[in-house]
Structure 1
């Protein structure tokens, strides 16, 4: 099959497209792709990649080391950010995000934000931090995920 403009079909730039592909991989709908789900999809695509190989692949994609691939990690993988020399500062943003994500669950809570800001000498309450999170929490889950963090850092919203 031919690809349009000689671009591979997996090269997705629209986040809605990325979400659609992600949701197909995320068979159980939990917002995370497991190694088993990835093996199943790869088999459906005609690959006989073993679970051990897939686990090694996942280690490279799983930037928060939680054993799963979340939407942000999946989008980064599709964009080819791993190993790109000019990744638009994604690596630096991921490193910054990891500093705030104290429990390494891929989300920044009001409590984590409060702890970090306090360590940096900022005087604010947990309620202040909750309000800060609400201002960038586009999915309404009460946390800041990497994509929300990235948007906040690049857009500098004043809403």
Structure 2
């Protein structure tokens, strides 16, 4: 009988929300402005109008200081199935129900991240519980749910 109290599966990166926040916070000032939010949405291929960006800011910026803090961002992070599916679909560029290393690389490159496709394959592998080399929606949901609870 083992006395090791480690969980059987390693948890996904516990700082995932912080890393996503940092991608939005392009000037690294610890807060996301409307311009930064608009820039990331544009990089992801979502042409949000200024009015849509304003509505998103109003929804997320709960303290009404004109910026999104890490705490506000974490509270807004996708939690229900439809929000998670919408986030998943941003990465699933070919809409085949799975995220490949190539798709992840394309999105991260658009966001200004400098990582190779091989690096992206490693990221995929870290959450790929069925070992098929892709992240399906269930794996994505588990990763995002674990990240939100940390």
Higher relative contact order (CA 8 A, sep 6+): 2
With the shorter chain as reference, the TM-score category is 0.3 to 0.5
TM-score by length of 2: 0.45
TM-score by length of 1: 0.43
Structure ID, larger Rg: 1
